[in-house]
Amino acid sequence: GAGLRHQGRAGAAQSRDRHLMAQLGGVGFAWRLALVAAAVLLACVHQASGAKGALSASAFDYETCFACELTWRQVHVSVPLNPSAEDVNAAFDEFCANPVPVFEASCRDMAAQRWKMVDDYLAGKSFNSICENAQVCWKGLMLSGA
């Protein structure tokens, strides 16, 4: 029933994400930099719109939250279908091994609680939930709806 439809949509989304990342050649330095610039711009628009919780957030909060979401999106497209905890951890390590400078602190913060985040990912939690549970994001701060 609903579970199978969800798995089908999730599989299609993962396939689409993998295809997109292959076209982009992975998340290289220029791509990451463009995403950070987009996040900062969206954060400014988000804050100007008076979104709940946005007024107490700093630019660093937005960077950290965005880095978390981007990291887990990259992990998602990097792991095989039905990944093991080790697969997910290796994908996390690969993304955070040489982060752009703006993501260094975020990767360090996430690395300290990686196994909790890996467990959340394997449990099928959304990127937002993974980042919220790690307390690097909160409602009103997150820019995506995934």
**Residue at 15 is within a domain:** no
**Residue at 140 is within a domain:** no
- Kindly tell me the burial class for residue 77, based on how many C-beta atoms sit within 10 Å of its own C-beta (0-12, 13-18, 19 or more): buried
The whole-number pLDDT of residue 25 equals 45
**Residue at 83 is within a domain:** yes
Residues 6+ apart with CB under 8 A from 63: 36, 39, 40, 102, 103, 106
| Cα gap 80→76, rounded to integer Å | 9
**Residue at 63 is within a domain:** yes
Q: pTM of the full predicted structure? A: 0.63
Token pair of 135 as six digits: 């307390």
pLDDT for residue 89 is more than 90: yes
Which residue range forms the structural domain that includes residue 121?
27-133
pLDDT for residue 87 is more than 90: yes
Cβ proximity of 127 and 106 under 8 Å: no
**Residue at 120 is within a domain:** yes
**Residue at 86 is within a domain:** yes
Strand ranges for 8-135 from DSSP E: none
φ/ψ region of 32 (left if φ > 0, alpha if ψ in -120 to 50, else beta) reads alpha
**Residue at 145 is within a domain:** no
**Residue at 5 is within a domain:** no
When pLDDT is cut at 50, 70 and 90, the band that residue 62 belongs to is confident
Cβ proximity of 65 and 141 under 8 Å: yes
Domains: count for the chain: 1
